[in-house]
Amino acid sequence: MLYLYNDIVIYSGSRTVRYGGCPRYGGKGGGEMQSFPDSLVDLKSQGHTLIGCFPLYPPLELLHSFGLTPVVLWGLRQDITHLTRSDRHLQPYACGVARSLSEFVLSRGGELLDAIFMYNACDTLRNLPEILGSSLDRHGSPIPLFRLHIPAVPLSRAFASDYLNEGIRELIGELEKFTGRSFSAQTFLNSTGLYNRQRRLSRDLERLAAAGRLRFSDCSDFLLSAGRMSLDDHISILERTIREFNGRAPGHQGVRIMLSGILPPPVALLDAIERAGLTVVANDIAALRRSYDYLPAASADPGAYYQDLYRNHYPCTTILPSADSRLETIMQTVRESGVQGFIFVGEKFCEYEYFEIPAVKRMIEAEGVRTLELEIGMDDALNLDAYQTRIEAFAEMLLHETRGSRRDNDAV
C-alpha cells in the first residue's frame, strides 16, 4: 500500500498508519492508500520506464544509468493475495516470493513493466524466465528480458571476475539497444553515487529505529518503499524522515532482539513483536540490511563497481561465496547490539535460508541468546493468530529472564 507523506507517496506494508498523518507520531492525517501496481501506474504516468527486477540484488545502478527505473519485485505478498495466474504455472511449493512475483508479472506485467531483469539469485528464480516469458508471449504482451549470471565462486579468482566483466559488457550492449542510449561512464558514476546515498540513509534510519526513535515496523516500511518509487523520491523521503525522527526523544526500549530472513515479517507480526515488548535493534534481512549494508566505492567502471559490490556484499544465504563470513557477521552483530532474542523469519520453501538456520541457531544459542523460528508461507500472511501467540510467549520468556537477571544483579 502507499500513502502520502508531505505530498510524497510512500509504500507501507499493509497498514493505514502514516507518517505526517500517523496518530502515534502526532501527525495531521490525510493519506491516500495505493497498491503496488497502482504505484507503478503512477510512476508510468510520470514518464518512468520501468524495469521489474527479480530479487535479490540486481545491478540497479547500471539499469538506472540507462534512464530506467528499476523496481525489485519482492515483498508483494500483501498486495497479491490471489494467485490465479501463477498457480497455473507454479506448484504451491514454490516460495511466496516467486509465486507473488509471477502473479504480478503475469497479471499486470504486460501493462506496467517495460522490461524485466533477472540474475541467478536462486534455483527457483532461475526456472521462471521461460515460464513467464512464454505465457506473456501467448497472451500477446511480451516483455523484453535481460539476464546476467553472477559468479557463484569467489570473485577473487581472476577468471570469475573476467566472466562477470564480460557478462556486464554484454548486458550493457543489450541495454544500449533497448534504450537507444549509449553507456555513459559519468551517468553511471552519478547513479552509483545516488545508490550509495540511499544505502547510507537506509543505515541511518535503521540506527534511529535501533535507538528507539521510530518503530522498526515503520522503519522497515520506509526502507521497503524503495522498490516502489523513483530513487530520487526515496532519497528525499529518507532525508526528511531522518530529519524528523532525529529530533525525537527515544521511545521505550523493550527487550532487544534481532530478525533474520529474506523479508521482514508481515506488518501484523512486526506490530505483535513490538506490542509484546520487544525492540528490533538489528536485522539480517535480505530486503533490508543485507541489501544496503555494504557501500561499494563509487566508480565510473561498471565492471570494477560490481566486482566490489558482489565480492564484499553483506553476507547472504544466496551469495554462495559469503557462506564463511555469514556466521561471523551475524555473531558480531548479535554481540555488538546486545540482543537477547533472535527471530528467524523463514520464507517457506526457501532452501537457502533453511539450510543455514540450524548452524546459526546453534551458534547463537551457545551465546545465551534465545531463538524463535517463524515460517511464513503464502497462506500464512492471512492467518497470523498462531504466530502472534508464539511471539507473545517468546516475549514473555525473554521479559521474565530479563527481570530475573536484573533481580540477580540487584542482589549482588
Partner 1 sequence: MMPSEKKRGEFKKNTSGKRLSTMIMNDYLDLHRRAYEGAFVVWIAIIVPAELFGGFEKVVYAVPESHAALCAGKGTGPVLCEKAEGFGYSTDLCSYARIDIGTAFDGGRDSPTFGLPRPDLLISNTNNCSLLVKWFDVYHRAWGVPHLVLDIPFCYENQKERDFRYIMDQFGTLISTIEEMSGQRFDLDKARESVRLSSEAMKEWKRFLGFAAHRPSGITAFDSFVQMAPILTSRGTRRLVDHYRLLADETAEQVKNGIFPVPGEKYRLLWDNIAPWHQLRKMSGRLAGLGANITSASYTYCIGALEGEYDPYEFDGNDPLAWLARLQNFSVCPHGLNLRGMAMKDVIGRNAIDGVVFASNRSCKVYSLMQMDQMRYIREELGLPCVMIDVDHADVRKYSEETAFTRLEALLEMIDA
Q: Is 94 in the site for partner 1 (CB under 8 A)?
A: yes
Contact between 88 and partner 1 per CB under 8 A: yes
119 belongs to the binding site for ligand SF4 (CB under 6 A): no
Q: Which residue has the cell 554462495?
A: 320
Which grid cell is 135? 505465457
Binding mask 131-160 toward partner 1 (x if CB under 8 A, else -) reads x--xx-----------x-x-xxx---x-xx
Stretch of 93-101, 168-176, 364-372, 393-401 contacting ligand SF4, by CB under 6 A: 93-101
Query: Among 195, 245, 352, 394, which residue interacts with ligand SF4 (rule: CB under 6 A)?
Result: 352
Instruction: State the minimum distance, in angstroms, from the CB of residue 293 to partner 1.
Output: 21
**Of 39-47, 122-130, 327-335, 384-392: span binding ligand SF4 (CB under 6 A):** 122-130
Cα distances (angstroms) measured from residue 255 to each of 264, 276, 340, 349: 18, 9, 7, 30
Nearer to partner 1, 185 or 386 (CB): 386
Within residues 29-58, the interface with ligand SF4 by CB under 6 A covers 55
Which candidate, 18, 5, 36, places its Cα nearest to that of 236?
Answer: 5
Q: Does residue 390 touch partner 1 according to CB under 8 A?
A: no
Q: Is 305 in the site for ligand SF4 (CB under 6 A)?
A: no
Site string for partner 1, 215-254 (x = CB under 8 A): ----------------------------------------
Q: Which of 318, 333, 340, 371 binds ligand SF4 (CB under 6 A)?
A: 318
With a CB cutoff of 8 Å and minimum separation 6, the contacts of 10 are 2, 3, 4, 18, 19, 221, 222, 225, 229, 237
Which residue, among 36, 380, 408, has the nearest Cα to 224 in the 3D structure?
A: 36
AA identity, residue 200: R
Handedness of CA 398, 386, 11, 329 (dihedral sign): positive
Q: What's the one-letter identity of residue 356? A: E
What do you get for the CA distance between the two ends of the chain, in Å? 51
Q: How far is the CB of 399 from ligand SF4 (least distance, A)?
A: 31
163 binds, among partner 1, ligand SF4, none (CB under 5 to 8 A by kind): partner 1
Is 349 a residue that touches partner 1 (CB under 8 A)?
A: yes
The angle subtended at Cα 187 by Cα 205 and Cα 197, nearest 5°, is: 10
# of chain residues touching partner 1 (CB under 8 A): 47
Nearer to ligand SF4, 124 or 322 (CB): 124
* 128, 116 contact by CB (below 8 A): no
Binding to partner 1 by residue 183, rule CB under 8 A? no
Rounded to whole angstroms, the Cα distance separating 160 from 327 reads 24
Q: Does 89 bind partner 1 (CB under 8 A)?
A: yes
The whole-angstrom separation of Cα 102 and Cα 108 is: 10
Q: Which of 17, 60, 68, 98 binds ligand SF4 (CB under 6 A)?
A: 98
Q: Count other Cβ atoms within 10 Å, centred on residue 13.
A: 23
Nearest 5°: CA angle at 139, between 137 and 140? 65
CA-based nearest residue to 343, from 374, 380, 386, 375 = 374
The answer to whether residue 130 forms part of the interface with partner 1 (CB under 8 A) is yes
Check residue 332 for interaction with partner 1 (CB under 8 A): no
Among 122, 280, 282, 364, binds ligand SF4 (CB under 6 A): 122
The phi and psi torsions of 39 (rounded to 5 degrees) equal -65, -35
CB of 264 to partner 1, least distance (A): 20
For residue 307, CA distances in Å to 155, 191, 216 come to 7, 16, 32
C-alpha cell at 345: 523469519
Residues 126 and 120 sit within 8 Å (Cβ to Cβ) = yes
Min dist CB 47 to partner 1, Å, is: 32
Q: Which residues bind partner 1 (CB under 8 A)?
A: 88-91, 93-94, 98, 120, 122-124, 126-131, 134-135, 147, 149, 151-153, 157, 159-160, 163, 166, 317, 320-321, 323, 327, 346, 348-349, 351-352, 354-359, 361-362
